[in-house]
């Protein structure tokens, strides 16, 4: 019997200094991982749900989001 290989979960890094809180990442995330907090900054509210699609990283106009495996 072979051991199952588990895919590592991607890590979502948000540079708060660059984030202007536009909400594009939160609106486009299919898994609802990202939200905009009361300080008008993006936060990963549910990082374990991240599928690693990269939409947040690609659509962020401020380059404030990075995904890493």
Mean pLDDT score of the chain: 91
Kind and range of the H or E run holding 27: helix 24-28
Average pLDDT of span 61-65:
97
Torsion over CA: 59, 30, 47, 54 (sign): negative
More confident residue, 33 or 1: 33
d(CA 55, CA 26): 10
* pLDDT bucket at 69, cuts 50 / 70 / 90: confident
The CATH architecture of the domain made up of 19-68 is: 2-Layer Sandwich (3.30)
Kind and range of the H or E run holding 36: strand 34-36
Per-residue model confidence as pLDDT tens digits over 3-14:
666 667 789 999
More confident residue, 38 or 2: 38
Domain ranges of the chain: 19-68
* pTM score, whole prediction: 0.80
């Amino acid at each position: 019997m072979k051991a199952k290989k588990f895919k590592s979960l991607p890590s979502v890094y948000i540079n708060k200094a660059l984030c202007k809180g536009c909400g594009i990442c939160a609106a486009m995330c299919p898994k609802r991982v990202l939200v905009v907090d009361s300080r008008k900054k993006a936060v990963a509210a549910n990082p374990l749900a991240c599928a690693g699609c990269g939409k947040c990283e690609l659509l962020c106009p401020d380059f404030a989001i990075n995904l890493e495996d």
